[in-house]
Copies of this chain bind each other. A is one copy, B any other.
Amino acid sequence: MIRATDEWVTFERHFQQIIQLSAKTVGQNRLVYSPSWVKAQAALIQFGQQAGLTAMVDHYGNVYLDLPGEDDHVIATGSHMDTVRNGGKFDGLYGVLGGLQAITMLKTRFGAPRHTLRLISFSEEEGSRFNTTFSGSKYYALHQSVGPLTDQNGISFEQARSQAVEQLQTISNIVVKRPALPISFTELHIEQGPRLINTHAAVGLVSGIVGQRRWSITVHGVSNHAGTTPMNDRHDALQAAVTIIYQLNGLARHLSPNLAFTVGQLTVSPNTSNVIPGTIQFTIDARHADDRLLDQFEQLIGETLNRQADPQIKCASKRYGKDLPATFDSDLLAQNKQLAQQLSLTSQIMASGAGHDSYGSKLFSVD
């Protein structure tokens, strides 16, 4: 491992300063536009200004720290500052402070670069306060705005945004601006799964983000008395749903061991111990790097639902999410692989199973 002592001390100090903002809560709590989120973005601006970088903030609260180069091309890195409720220490923040450290180290060693180097700390990626995800990177890269949403306390996105961002825009020497897009964007992120630990690899080289589809399945049967309804006279929605899930699990495993298949949500109605369930609703989340395989699985879902022998059991399926797989830039991937080798870091090429700013904003296809 490489360690430039002074810079690691600085990284550690920055890191501790931000995570201490959530010291009084369980886990990290920097919901977008909350007081701790404002303090974190303000601290980051201060870190950047202390390191001699140009600090910018846009109307969504995305923070940009630039080391200006000789030409207009921008090479960017970064991640998001917000967290889920009770989040982990590294999700988002690691990529923000890691990017800042990388730019600072390059500045110290090599001075002014040819291309501008930019650290981006996106305002929001998690979707934990408002029912929207990637709002920061989408505002930056796609110029997309958020609709009229409110949080669970009834505070509108617009009200929360303007109050929070105003505090950042009044910091001294800050430039209020949404800058031009970079020619490349690299995001450092903690893995949210066990692959690297299981293979003892130091870093993952991310080839893309898996495609993801989500369905809501409804199984309607006939609710009835659990004691007086004979077994051969039942139209038990739960038993039908259980059979469907059991079969789909087998089909998913048979289709590909890499097809991630999850039934995460399931509700029973009326959900009373002595009443045969009349309606079951459940979700399916399926992910795979190959979209054709997700097509096949979607067909298998339909066939499984249609295979009901009991005409009084009625199944309906509604797909409410479809994200195509993303393939990241192969040149950057090859460069990163080479870098890992030069640094003697064991690595593994892998697809990310989770969404990230790189994906939500389509920053991966900007080059």
Known: A226-B285, A227-B210, A242-B246. A265 touches B260 (CB 8 A): no
A contact residues, total (Cβ < 8 Å): 55
A239 engages B263 (CB within 8 Å):
yes
Q: Which of A196-249 contact B (CB under 8 A)?
A: 198, 210, 212, 214, 224-233, 236, 238-239, 242-243, 245-246, 249
Copies per assembly? 2
Contact residues in B for A352 (Cβ distance below 8 Å): 227-228
B263 engages A271 (CB within 8 Å):
no
A233 engages B276 (CB within 8 Å):
no
Contact residues in B for A147 (Cβ distance below 8 Å): none
Contact residues in B for A274 (Cβ distance below 8 Å): 214, 262, 264, 285
Contact residues in B for A268 (Cβ distance below 8 Å): 264-267
A254–chain B nearest beta-carbon distance, Å: 12
| A259 CA / B264 CA spacing, docked (Å) | 31
B266 engages A238 (CB within 8 Å):
yes
A354 engages B227 (CB within 8 Å):
yes
Interface residues of A (CB under 8 A from B): 191-195, 198, 210, 212, 214, 224-233, 236, 238-239, 242-243, 245-246, 249, 252-253, 257-268, 271-277, 283, 285, 287, 352-355
